[in-house]
Amino acid sequence: MPTQDLSKNRISSENQIYHLVATTHKRMPVFDNFLAARIIINEMKALNEQNILSSLAWVVMPDHLHWLIQLNGNHQLSQIMKKLKGSSASKINKTLKQKGKLWQQGFYEHAIRHDESLKRTARYIVANPLRAKLVTSVTHYPHWDAIWL
């Protein structure tokens, strides 16, 4: 049964697949730093390992991330993102010996409808480094994954 987070006007439904996007504060290229990128990736993997969600595809760009997930259980998107942003910000700030905001407030989510192609959405996500002209082949970009590979 869907649960609604009225403060964010979001509805989180068990087994629903979502495309999430979160942006760094003032679009700072935090994830140009390899260690910072690996920290956020490890935090995303931890949520998957805790069976809060199933991670289907993701890419960590220099100033934002795209993440295709399926909710497991009765979890709220806003709580998942709060946990991800809080834990990653704390660890990244400690690792980089810095203080201050890491993430922009809020995030974007799009519930994938039954008529949308999951693989098409996943390809869009992993192709972000190509569209941003960061690499000429996605195989040259280290911060992405998808279950179909």
Greatest Cα pair distance, the chain, in angstroms, is 46
pLDDT tens column, 74-87:
899 999 999 999 99
Specify the higher pLDDT residue, 2 or 70: 70
pLDDT of residue 7: 43
Mean pLDDT across the chain, nearest whole number?
Answer: 92
pLDDT of residue 5: 46
Burial class (CB in 10 A: 0-12, 13-18, 19+), 122: buried
The CATH number for 13-146, chosen from 3.10.20.30, 3.30.70.1290, 3.10.640.10, 3.30.450.20, is: 3.30.70.1290
Please check the confidence at residue 146 and state whether its pLDDT lies above 70. Answer: yes
User: Which residues have CB under 8 Å from 89's CB, separation 6+?
Assistant: 101, 102, 103
pLDDT of residue 8: 52
- Residue/partner pairs of 50-53 with CB below 8 Å, 24 or more apart: 52/80, 53/80
Lowest-pLDDT choice from 1-5, 31-35, 139-143: 1-5
Distance between CA atoms of 149 and 84, rounded to whole angstroms?
24
User: Which sequence spans correspond to the domains of the chain?
Assistant: 13-146
pLDDT of residue 27: 97
- Interval 112-130 mean pLDDT: 92
